[in-house]
Structure 1
């Protein structure tokens, strides 16, 4: 085969038609694959995450379902003065654009109120000191229960009628009752002093009368 014969296919129009057809097929195939990938991955499409903060989980599930999304509770925190079980936060955040079917992770206010150790104020604190310590720890106070003892001295703490001991816990925000002295101990002490004084005075009076009679 001569060189001229080898390059003779260049003059064959069918050869060039086949080349053009192959190029067209490759381009169309590539374009088709790209379109299929766009449809499969929903490229350019998205759903805006709704704001469900403050809702219950059941309410949020319904809203997410209407938007083509799903959700799951992934964490919990405790926020005082907010109802238990409401949604505090979500990821992705509200307003973000995500693909349909995306899972949204929720953080809710804990259903169980956390427990906290009740400060030890029994028999070592005045009424004012005990009130300050307990309120600073997140507890509420009911009307004091008066017991026999030194006035305004704390002798114990009760929760739901049960006297607490060192290390006992109560729910944060629970209402506690302080057992406070009614001052009866001070009165008894004062009465005893008065009795001693009376005895001394009576004894001195009797001695004076005896002395006078003797003279």
Structure 2
């Protein structure tokens, strides 16, 4: 038995090498685990403060004290919010992050965003309407005017009649009127003809418009033919 133990645990035996490798692996895993905790500051987190409604200077002071930083990634405009204040924060307020984390914020601009008016003449009204709304113009009306191909755009203007040309820089809160080519049908004469039908579906001759050829023939007949 003693000789067997000596053979198994001698320095050059396979079992000795396996045990040494297992021991080294355990030590390496423990060092790696504790090292990562120290490096990533595991368990040491900071609550993201609520910066909404605050100015950039106020936010900078708060984040500096909390060992956090920020970047502006978006700017929109709302009439209901104070210009230059923060509208949203990512990660959201109340989240827990590591110290030194960069927060992404969006602010309320000082004026409405402007967009370039696209080329619209002779284009499909449906296509231009969708394009304008996609650019952010929410108040766009359509007005039918005569001329051109039906359903095509012939002009763009503001409610006070000022023309808006392609390429112009316009605030997205501007009200626009899209002038669309079309035609209106005067149904007054048609309605009168329909009213002239009797109960049997026959038209009253008094409702028909005068026939100029018939009037000419009647006037050519002499009254003293008898």
**Structure 2 length-normalised TM:** 0.44
Q: Which has the higher helix share?
A: 1
Greater C-alpha radius of gyration = 1
TM-score by length of 1: 0.46
